[in-house]
């Protein structure tokens, strides 16, 4: 009896010890990963305050701290690019959300003859590289006068117009709201529009926020479309295109630390917004991946 | 308060599966009709077609003499309680019940009056300011009923409203629905898969199977005069025993020969058989468990069998027995009829003798499964 | 007797299939050889090594197949799948492979049948439509008959003013457009313009000026638009006829037609889906469908920098010439230049390798990180996640560009390492093909893991805990639990996601372009077209083709179409193998 107890006790200790070992290994791995993940961001932040050299150096800590890089940003077109991007992101977020929600709600809730063919058709369309369309869209927008210096409305148009194709994630969300709620409301006397307004939308806060967030973040990172449409005109560039040019061979020597400063200014609002709304992003991403 | 008339109503899905075949039914004003059948029999689909939630593939649905096939649900003046309650999770109980009234643009005073009245009737007044997720299953059920109640609509539809509740609550709510029906005094259509609910609630029961109506009748009719084997087995618990046997007709008297015994058919059943002119033939004999009685070993025509399972239900025993030719039968014996000694002897393998009551037997044709007396 | 014959026939078919299977195995071996060789040669390992690896995989497989053939094929053919349960572990593996290989003909047969049925259905639908149009005319009243010419007349005559006016307006706009410009664009479409810019002598100013005439670009664009418009018109015309037929039917049955007010109200009720879809679909039609159709057509022209269709030269139809150029193994430019096909092959193989590694490294590492953070007893779960998620929160162009410069020849890392005296010469992160390819894949892990961590965290938490409890009681250790429960569950749930992420990685422009810009340059491949680099994907190559001095738009279109074909084929095949599509309910 007592012997039994002893062996059980030993085994218990063994279990505990192995768990401690496993957990400390995991902690070690996590710490290493975190360091790797943070290094670039710490470096970019530190280098944005470096005054002594505007080019790449072999150390991280600035020898001379200062806000010169940030001040210099305002001598360039950077503020213009920033405003361009901000306006684009804001308008895109608003319009794109409306479009995506219309599309996904319809495909989730209505059963009409063309529904399946429509979805397959969009699936096939999505397999064409979108960049190909840029060549013609550039020419069309140019005819409309929406390129170069006027790139912002042109860019918004491009982002928003085909955003209906990205309905998958929010459709997945709508699919999880029981259909009987719609039916109950319709029996209660609601039109389809009232069902959407009074029942579905109030329940869709997470997905609305997710859609707004991703739509808002998209334009901050887009390089290729923005470059096409601004087409070398500085006044029409967004931050990605503008800052990319600073790292060209002929500019990098003088603009490297300014790139870092610009990057910090771009990253902070976007990252803060993202971190605040992280919960909704995770919900959307998880749901979307499962639904395919 | 209205009549509902379904004429040749049909439901064919896109994949060409027919869920409901030519459904014909006249529901009178203020009648309580129950659609009952196993899952997938088309009962819910039929109700949803009446509600307008499902397109009608063929035939017409009339409410109060108006064909409503092309009307939206909101224009049909119906109320409906859903199986999973379908309460709007973002609204309080009050707002849930008031939803339809607000859509009608009723003044808030009036809405308040109606909602609080309904809440009082259902005993949910204290929950009016809560959200549905803070309620128990039974309370949610009441809210769902309340939401339908306040509308004073022509027809009251209920789609398996009790199937998400536990057994005890279900019995309680069943009784409350009977009371509610008295108060509302309107036309009810009720869908369930539970024959007990159907029997206890309905003025008339519509038994459905594979998209067809098997029988329509009062609870007493479908219980005592099942038109076919399906209805006979579906209604009544435990279900009816069926066995193949000979029906003999000699000298104006009818006998059945189950398991070698010879039992005379008596009473109205014999008269009915005579009227129908049924002669000697093979039949599928149906005997309800409560119409099998234990007999003494010495009794004439006692059928020997062995006990397999003894289910003690309290007031009665359900004995699962098998005859020498391995036919399984269920016998329902009131506990009160058995001495303590006899009850103790009811163990696995015990030898029992049974006999059938001659006046309550059902005779079916084996091929068509129709009742020989009420089959057409 | 009959039994014997049956057996004879069966074994005859068996032999035939055996040969087919052998061919399949050999092909599989070749495929492994090519893939492994492709990856390894990038790192500088000679091809014979990958030959050995392929042989090591294939030879036992072939032997196993040959030895176990009769048994396994018997099981495969028998309808009783219970027999598979009695196979040994290796036999089961061979059996699995065998059923995939043997399933290929059936797959193509089904595919063919599906397409054939679709074509048949389309033709019979058109036939029915035509018959209905005819019969409506014959049986219709005079209002209906006039509607065949004057759209909306029937509606107007029957009191549906709003509908009638819309139909009429559409017809008027269409006719007006066709007369004013549509017919011009349509007539020019076959030639894409006849007269390019000319030099003309301006008498007044006494200089040579350029006079512009036809514009091939606009002709193609508006030609396509006009065709869209015509299709829309035919469709609307058909709707107009259907409406007449329906209206007649409704009136005949003694009911009333919908009034304009009711029509408007139905737009937020039973027709609400049309209202909701109108705007998104218009956007997609103009900004996605139209450009794609246009670009597909460009692949059949010679539209490039030197033939921009207006200011220098017109462009014109070239038939299949561009596809011939792209897919032929002889160099179009002669001399030492490489053929397009060879260049395309190189870029494609790297694209596939990249997509494979980018997808699966992220997937498994992301899953492990998620599991590590989720493990019971690990604290600061939220904190760890937040640190990782930074790479999602910060716009990619900042993080990628910055990291790219960190790894440059004179970047932070090289300078630091040299400064510390650990290396003498800068590491060729972006200069050497192999280094660049591996660095890109590693840095993609940095960018991709957080996203996968988020995705998998949610799914991992959805795995019912009792599955693990039951497995532990059955005696499974941590690794076995992962292998038998976590992994199958994850693969099942994320199957479609893996597919989209694979095709997404094939087209992952941002990561490649911002990190390397395709560098280092592949001189041999670049001789074909564009400034092709060793890390260039098809999509970045396509971009370079359109932006270079030559701007060979027609080639870019061909590449784009080929990308589509590759993506479509992969999706189709994988989609048909995926268990989550096949057995939808397994894990639910």
CA C314 to CA C294: how far, in whole Å?
A: 16
| Residues C521-558 pLDDT 10s | 777 766 666 678 888 888 888 888 887 667 888 888 88
Q: How many domains are contained in chain C?
A: 3
Q: Is residue C126 part of a domain?
A: no
CA B226 to CA B212: how far, in whole Å?
A: 15
Give the CA distances from residue C234 to residues B284, C157, C181, C398, in Å, rounded to whole numbers and listed in that order.
65, 22, 18, 50
Residues 6+ apart with CB under 8 A from A229: A137, A138, A141, A146, A147, A148, A151, A154, A155, A158, A236
Q: Do the Cβ atoms of A131 and C288 come closer than 8 Å?
A: no
A60–C412: do the CB atoms touch at under 8 Å? yes
CA B51 to CA B19: how far, in whole Å?
A: 16
B79–A180: do the CB atoms touch at under 8 Å? no
Q: Do the Cβ atoms of B99 and A185 come closer than 8 Å?
A: yes
pLDDT at B1: 59
For testing the chain A interface, which of B15, B75, B84, B99 should be mutated: the one with the most A CBs within 10 Å? B99
Chain C nearest CA to A6, separation (Å) = 23
CA C117 to CA C124: how far, in whole Å?
A: 10
Domains and CATH numbers, chain B: 4-233 (3.40.50.300), 234-364 (2.40.50.140)
Q: Name the residue range of residue C169's domain.
A: 140-266
Tell me if chain A has a CB within 8 Å of the CB of C217: yes
Domain boundary (C218, C243, C266) is at: C266
Q: Please count the CA atoms within 13 angstroms of the CA of A92 that sit on its side-chain side.
A: 28
Domain boundary (C103, C127, C148) is at: C103
Q: Is there a single domain that holds both residue C88 and residue C226?
A: no
pLDDT band of residue C151 (cuts 50, 70, 90) is confident
Chain B nearest CA to A204, separation (Å) = 10
pLDDT at A100: 92
Q: Is residue C316 part of a domain?
A: no
Q: Is residue C193 part of a domain?
A: yes
Chain B nearest CA to A123, separation (Å) = 23
| Residues B51-87 pLDDT 10s | 999 889 989 999 988 888 888 888 888 999 998 889 9
The residue that leads in pLDDT, C171 or C107, is C171
- C-alpha B288 chain-centroid distance: 17
| Residues C50-63 pLDDT 10s | 777 777 777 776 77
The residue that leads in pLDDT, C580 or B16, is B16
DSSP B320-353: EEE-TT--EEEEEEEGGGS-HHHHHH--TT-EEE
Select the residue of C372, C378, C415 nearest A57 (Cβ to Cβ): C415
A188–B100: do the CB atoms touch at under 8 Å? yes
pLDDT at B46: 93
pLDDT at A8: 47
Q: Do the Cβ atoms of A208 and A101 come closer than 8 Å?
A: yes
pLDDT at A108 over 50: yes
A188–B90: do the CB atoms touch at under 8 Å? no
Residues 6+ apart with CB under 8 A from C377: A19, A23
CA B292 to CA B205: how far, in whole Å?
A: 26
DSSP 8-state class, residue C310 = S
Among chain C residues, CA nearest to A228: C547
Residues of A within 8 A of C388 (CB-CB) are 33-34, 37
pLDDT at A7: 47
- From A37-41, B135-139, C66-70, C375-379, the region with the lowest mean pLDDT: C66-70
pLDDT at B93: 93
With tokens 């679709």, the residue in question is C118
Residues of B within 8 A of A194 (CB-CB) are 103
Give the other-Cβ count within 10 Å of A276's Cβ.
10
Q: Please count the CA atoms within 13 angstroms of the CA of B120 that sit on its side-chain side.
A: 6
Q: What percent of chain C has pLDDT over 70?
A: 88
| Residues B145-185 pLDDT 10s | 999 889 888 899 999 988 888 888 888 889 889 988 888 88
A192–C270: do the CB atoms touch at under 8 Å? yes
Q: Is residue C110 part of a domain?
A: no
| Residues C411-456 pLDDT 10s | 888 888 888 888 888 788 888 888 888 889 888 999 888 888 888 8
Q: Positive or negative, the Cα torsion across B231, B233, B239, B240?
A: positive
Tell me if chain A has a CB within 8 Å of the CB of B249: no
**pTM score, whole prediction:** 0.84
- C-alpha B46 chain-centroid distance: 16
Q: Is there a single domain that holds both residue C482 and residue C345?
A: yes
Average pLDDT over residues B8-32: 90
Among chain C residues, CA nearest to A280: C454
pLDDT at C331 over 70: no
Chain C nearest CA to A269, separation (Å) = 9
Average pLDDT over residues C380-402: 86
Average pLDDT over residues C463-483: 85
- From A135-139, B139-143, B265-269, the region with the lowest mean pLDDT: A135-139
pLDDT band of residue B343 (cuts 50, 70, 90) is confident
Q: Is residue C561 part of a domain?
A: no
B86–A178: do the CB atoms touch at under 8 Å? yes
Burial class, C412, CB count within 10 angstroms (exposed 0-12 / middle 13-18 / buried 19+):
buried
Residues 6+ apart with CB under 8 A from C544: C518, C530, C531, C532, C536
Residues of C within 8 A of A160 (CB-CB) are 283
How far does chain B reach from its first CA to its final CA, in angstroms?
Answer: 33
Judged by CB atoms within 8 Å, which residues 118-147 of B form the interface with A?
A: 147
A188–B53: do the CB atoms touch at under 8 Å? no
| Residues B227-237 pLDDT 10s | 999 999 999 88
Q: Is residue C472 part of a domain?
A: yes
pLDDT at C407: 85
Give the CA distances from residue B312 to residues A247, B332, B346, C124, in Å, rounded to whole numbers and listed in that order.
86, 10, 10, 66
pLDDT at C245 over 90: no
DSSP B8-52: EEEEE-TTS-EEEEEEEEEE-TT-EEEEE-STTSSHHHHHHHHHT
Q: Is there a single domain that holds both residue C401 and residue C510?
A: yes
A186–B88: do the CB atoms touch at under 8 Å? no
A30–C507: do the CB atoms touch at under 8 Å? no
pLDDT at B286: 92
Q: Is there a single domain that holds both residue C352 and residue C433?
A: yes
Mean pLDDT of chain B: 90
What 3-state DSSP class applies to A231? Answer: coil
Q: Please count the CA atoms within 13 angstroms of the CA of C567 that sit on its side-chain side.
A: 25
Q: Do the Cβ atoms of B185 and B1 come closer than 8 Å?
A: yes
Q: Is there a single domain that holds both residue C152 and residue C244?
A: yes
Residues 6+ apart with CB under 8 A from C142: none
Mean pLDDT of chain C: 81
Select the residue of A180, A188, A199 nearest B84 (Cβ to Cβ): A180
Residues of A within 8 A of C114 (CB-CB) are none
What 3-state DSSP class applies to A75? Answer: coil
Q: Do the Cβ atoms of A217 and A239 come closer than 8 Å?
A: no
Residue of C317, C108, C332 whose CA lies nearest to C219: C317
> Which range has highest mean pLDDT (A60-64, B41-45, C242-246, C471-475)?
B41-45
Domains and CATH numbers, chain A: 2-68 (no CATH), 70-291 (1.10.3720.10)
Q: Positive or negative, the Cα torsion across C25, C26, C30, C36?
A: positive
Select the residue of A124, A160, A283 nearest C283 (Cβ to Cβ): A160
B83–A180: do the CB atoms touch at under 8 Å? yes
pLDDT at C172: 93
pLDDT at C6: 42
For testing the chain C interface, which of A25, A129, A193, A210 should be mutated: the one with the most C CBs within 10 Å? A129
CA A120 to CA A108: how far, in whole Å?
A: 14
pLDDT band of residue C322 (cuts 50, 70, 90) is confident
Residues of C within 8 A of A125 (CB-CB) are 284, 288-289, 292
Burial class, C395, CB count within 10 angstroms (exposed 0-12 / middle 13-18 / buried 19+):
buried
A with C: how many residue pairs have Cβ under 8 Å apart? Answer: 252
Give the CA distances from residue B239 to residues A209, B214, C550, in Å, rounded to whole numbers and listed in that order.
55, 17, 85
pLDDT at C45: 62
The residue that leads in pLDDT, B253 or C195, is B253
Q: How many helices (H) and strands (E) does chain B have?
A: 10, 20
Select the residue of A184, A189, A194 nearest B86 (Cβ to Cβ): A184
pLDDT band of residue C210 (cuts 50, 70, 90) is confident
Among chain A residues, CA nearest to B48: A183
Q: Is residue C319 part of a domain?
A: no
Domain boundary (C484, C504, C526) is at: C526
Please tell me the total number of residues recorded for chain C in this structure: 588
pLDDT at B260 over 70: yes
Judged by CB atoms within 8 Å, which residues 26-45 of A form the interface with B?
A: none
pLDDT at C4: 43
Average pLDDT over residues C62-90: 73
Helix (H) or strand (E) holding A82: helix A78-109
Cis peptide before A174 (omega within 30 of 0): no
Q: Is there a single domain that holds both residue C376 and residue C494?
A: yes
Tokens of residue A261, six digits? 């400063």
pLDDT at A187 over 70: yes
Give the other-Cβ count within 10 Å of B283's Cβ.
20
pLDDT at A65: 81
A244–C571: do the CB atoms touch at under 8 Å? no
Q: Is there a single domain that holds both residue C496 and residue C414?
A: yes
Average pLDDT over residues A205-233: 87
Mark C29-58 as b/e (b = at least 16 C-beta within 10 Å). beebbebbbbbbebeeeeeeebeebbeeeb
Select the residue of A187, A198, A199 nearest B80 (Cβ to Cβ): A187
pLDDT at C3: 44
pLDDT band of residue C122 (cuts 50, 70, 90) is very high
Give the CA distances from residue C248 to residues A44, C156, C235, C257, in Å, rounded to whole numbers and listed in that order.
74, 13, 20, 9
Q: Is there a single domain that holds both residue C235 and residue C352?
A: no
Average pLDDT over residues B350-365: 89
Give the other-Cβ count within 10 Å of C160's Cβ.
22
pLDDT at C14: 57
Q: Is there a single domain that holds both residue C518 and residue C409?
A: yes
Q: Is there a single domain that holds both residue C503 and residue C355?
A: yes
Average pLDDT over residues C380-391: 85
CA B141 to CA B143: how far, in whole Å?
A: 5
Tell me if chain A has a CB within 8 Å of the CB of C564: yes
pLDDT at B189 over 90: yes
Residues 6+ apart with CB under 8 A from C230: none
- How big is the CA angle at B220 (ends B218 and B226), to the nearest 5 degrees? 90
Q: Is residue C445 part of a domain?
A: yes
Q: Is there a single domain that holds both residue C368 and residue C243?
A: no
pLDDT at C266 over 90: no
Q: Do the Cβ atoms of C57 and C32 come closer than 8 Å?
A: yes
Q: Do the Cβ atoms of C403 and A36 come closer than 8 Å?
A: no
Residues of C within 8 A of A122 (CB-CB) are 284
pLDDT at A128 over 90: no
Residues of C within 8 A of A162 (CB-CB) are 283-284, 287-288
Three-state DSSP string of C184-223? HHHHHCCCCCCCCCEEEEECCCCEEEEECCCCHHHHHHHH
Cis peptide before C133 (omega within 30 of 0): no
pLDDT band of residue C7 (cuts 50, 70, 90) is very low
Q: Is there a single domain that holds both residue C80 and residue C178?
A: no
pLDDT at C588: 45
Chain B nearest CA to A188, separation (Å) = 5
- From A66-75, A85-94, C226-235, the region with the lowest mean pLDDT: A66-75
Residues 6+ apart with CB under 8 A from C478: none
Angular region, B66: left φ>0, alpha ψ -120 to 50, beta rest: beta
Select the residue of A178, A180, A189 nearest B103 (Cβ to Cβ): A189
CA-CA-CA-CA torsion for C159, C164, C165, C171, nearest 10 degrees? -160
| Residues C404-414 pLDDT 10s | 888 888 888 88
Which CATH number is C514's domain given? 1.10.3720.10
Select the residue of B73, B83, B84 nearest A187 (Cβ to Cβ): B73
Among chain A residues, CA nearest to B86: A181
- From B61-65, B277-281, C202-206, the region with the lowest mean pLDDT: C202-206
pLDDT at C11 over 50: no
């Amino acid at each position: 009896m007592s012997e039994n107890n002893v062996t059980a006790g030993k085994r218990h200790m063994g279990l505990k010890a192995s768990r401690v070992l496993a957990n400390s290994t995991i902690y070690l791995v996590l710490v290493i990963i975190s360091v790797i993940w943070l290094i670039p961001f710490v470096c970019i932040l530190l280098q944005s305050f470096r005054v002594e050299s505007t080019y790449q150096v072999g150390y991280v800590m600035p020898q001379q701290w200062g806000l010169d890089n940030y001040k210099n940003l305002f001598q360039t077109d950077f503020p213009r690019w920033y405003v361009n991007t901000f306006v684009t992101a804001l308008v895109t977020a608003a319009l794109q959300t409306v479009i995506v929600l219309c599309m996904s709600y319809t495909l989730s809730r209505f059963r009409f003859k063309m529904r399946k063919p429509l979805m397959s058709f969009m699936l096939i369309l999505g397999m064409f590289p979108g960049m190909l369309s840029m060549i013609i869209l550039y020419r069309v927008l140019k005819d409309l006068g929406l390129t170069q210096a006027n790139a912002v409305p042109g860019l918004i148009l491009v982002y928003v117009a085909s955003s209906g194709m990205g309905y998958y994630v929010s459709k997945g969300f709508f699919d999880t709201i029981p259909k009987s709620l719609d039916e109950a409301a319709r029996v209660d006397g609601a039109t389809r529009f009232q069902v959407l307004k009074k029942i579905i939308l109030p329940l869709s806060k997470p997905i609305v926020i997710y859609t707004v967030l991703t739509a808002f973040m998209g334009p901050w990172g887009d390089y290729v479309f923005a470059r096409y449409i601004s087409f070398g005109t500085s006044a029409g560039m967004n931050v990605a295109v503008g800052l990319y040019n600073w790292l060209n061979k002929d500019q990098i020597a003088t603009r490297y630390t300014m790139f870092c400063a610009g990057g910090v200014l771009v990253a902070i609002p976007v990252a803060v917004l993202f971190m605040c709304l992280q919960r909704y992003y995770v919900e959307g991403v998880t749901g979307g991946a499962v639904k395919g | 308060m209205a009549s509902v008339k379904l004429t040749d109503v049909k439901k064919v899905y896109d994949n060409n599966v027919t869920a409901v075949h030519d459904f014909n039914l006249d529901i009178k004003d203020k009648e309580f009709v129950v659609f009952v059948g196993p899952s997938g029999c088309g009962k819910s689909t039929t109700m949803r077609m009446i509600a307008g939630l499902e397109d009608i593939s063929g035939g017409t649905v009339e409410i109060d003499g108006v064909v409503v096939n092309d009307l939206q649900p909101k224009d049909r003046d119906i109320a409906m309680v859903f199986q999973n309650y379908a309460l709007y999770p973002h609204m309080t109980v009050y707002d849930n019940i008031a939803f339809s009234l607000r859509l009608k643009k009723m003044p808030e005073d009036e809405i308040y009056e109606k909602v609080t009245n309904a809440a009082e009737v259902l005993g949910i007044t204290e929950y009016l300011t809560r959200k549905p997720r803070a309620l128990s299953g039974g309370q949610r059920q009441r809210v769902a009923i309340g939401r339908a109640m306040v509308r004073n609509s022509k027809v009251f539809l209920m789609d398996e409203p009790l199937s998400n509740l536990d057994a005890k609550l279900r019995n309680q709510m069943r009784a409350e629905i009977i009371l509610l029906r008295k108060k509302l005094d309107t036309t009810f259509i009720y869908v369930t898969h539970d024959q007990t609910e159907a029997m206890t609630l309905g003025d008339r029961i519509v038994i459905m199977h594979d998209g067809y109506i098997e029988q329509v009748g009062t609870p007493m009719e479908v219980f005592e005069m099942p038109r076919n084997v399906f209805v006979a087995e579906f209604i009544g618990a435990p279900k009816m025993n069926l066995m193949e046997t000979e029906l003999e007709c000699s000298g104006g008297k009818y006998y059945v020969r189950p398991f070698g015994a010879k039992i005379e058919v008596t009473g109205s059943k014999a008269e009915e058989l005579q009227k129908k002119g049924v002669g000697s033939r093979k039949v599928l004999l149906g005997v309800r468990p409560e119409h099998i009685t234990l007999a003494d070993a010495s009794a004439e025509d006692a059928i020997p069998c062995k006990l397999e399972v003894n289910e003690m239900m309290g007031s009665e025993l359900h004995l699962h027995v098998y005859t020498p030719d391995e036919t399984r039968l269920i016998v329902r014996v009131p506990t009160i009829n058995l001495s303590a000694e006899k009850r103790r002897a009811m163990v696995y393998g015990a030898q029992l003798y049974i006999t059938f009551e001659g006046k309550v037997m059902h005779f079916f044709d084996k091929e068509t499964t129709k009742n020989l007396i009420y089959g057409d | 007797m009959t039994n014997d014959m049956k057996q004879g026939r069966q074994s005859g078919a068996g032999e035939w299939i055996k040969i087919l299977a052998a061919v399949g195995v050999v092909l599989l071996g070749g495929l492994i050889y090519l893939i492994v060789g492709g990856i390894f040669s990038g790192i500088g390992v000679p091809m014979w090594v990958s030959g050995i690896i392929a042989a090591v995989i294939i030879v036992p497989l072939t032997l196993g197949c040959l030895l176990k053939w009769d048994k396994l094929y018997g099981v495969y053919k028998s309808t009783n799948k219970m027999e598979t349960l009695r196979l040994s572990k290796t036999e089961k593996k061979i059996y699995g492979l065998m059923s995939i290989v043997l399933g290929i003909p059936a797959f193509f047969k089904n595919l063919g049948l599906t397409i054939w049925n679709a074509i048949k259905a389309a033709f019979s639908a058109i036939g029915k439509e035509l018959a209905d149009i005819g019969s409506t005319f014959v049986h219709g009243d005079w209002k209906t008959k006039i509607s065949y010419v004057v759209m909306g007349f029937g509606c107007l005559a029957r009191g549906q003013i709003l509908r009638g006016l819309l139909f009429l307006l559409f017809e008027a706009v269409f006719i007006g457009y066709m007369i004013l410009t549509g017919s011009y664009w349509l007539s020019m479409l076959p030639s894409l313009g006849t007269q390019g810019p000319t030099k003309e002598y301006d008498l007044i100013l006494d200089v040579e000026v350029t006079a512009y005439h036809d514009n091939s670009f606009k002709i193609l664009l508006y030609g396509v638009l006009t065709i869209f418009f015509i299709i829309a018109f035919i469709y609307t015309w058909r709707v107009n006829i259907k409406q007449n037929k329906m209206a007649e039917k409704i009136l005949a049955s003694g009911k009333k037609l919908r009034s304009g007010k009711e029509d408007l109200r139905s737009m937020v009720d039973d027709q609400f889906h049309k209202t909701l879809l109108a705007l998104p679909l218009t956007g997609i039609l103009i900004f996605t469908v139209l450009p794609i159709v246009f670009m597909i057509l460009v692949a059949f022209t010679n539209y490039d920098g030197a033939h921009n269709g207006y200011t220098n030269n017109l462009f014109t139809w070239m038939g299949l010439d561009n596809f011939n150029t792209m897919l032929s193994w002889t160099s179009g430019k002669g001399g030492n230049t490489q053929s397009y096909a060879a260049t395309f092959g190189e870029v494609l193989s790297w694209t596939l390798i990249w997509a494979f590694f980018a997808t699966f490294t992220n997937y498994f590492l992301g899953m492990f990180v998620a599991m590590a953070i989720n493990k019971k007893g690990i604290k600061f779960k939220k904190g760890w996640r937040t640190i990782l998620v930074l790479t999602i929160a910060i716009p990619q162009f900042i993080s990628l560009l910055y990291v790219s410069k960190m790894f440059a020849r004179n970047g932070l890392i090289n300078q630091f390492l040299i400064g510390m005296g650990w290396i003498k010469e800068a590491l060729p992160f972006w200069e050497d093909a192999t280094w660049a390819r591996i660095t890109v894949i590693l840095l993609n892990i940095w960018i991709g893991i957080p996203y996968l961590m988020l995705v998998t965290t949610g799914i991992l938490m959805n795995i019912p805990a009792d599955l693990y409890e039951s497995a532990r009681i059955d005696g499974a250790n941590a690794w076995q639990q992962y292998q038998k429960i976590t992994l199958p569950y994850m693969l099942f749930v994320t199957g479609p996601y893996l597919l989209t992420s694979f095709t997404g990685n094939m087209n992952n422009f941002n990561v490649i372009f911002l990190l390397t810009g395709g560098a280092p340059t592949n001189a041999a491949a670049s001789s074909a077209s564009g400034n092709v680099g060793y890390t260039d994907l098809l999509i970045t190559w396509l971009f370079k083709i359109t932006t270079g001095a030559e701007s060979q738009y027609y080639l870019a279109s061909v590449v784009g179409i080929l990308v589509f074909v590759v993506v479509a084929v992969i999706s189709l095949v994988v989609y048909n193998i995926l268990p989550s599509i096949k057995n939808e309910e397994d894990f639910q």
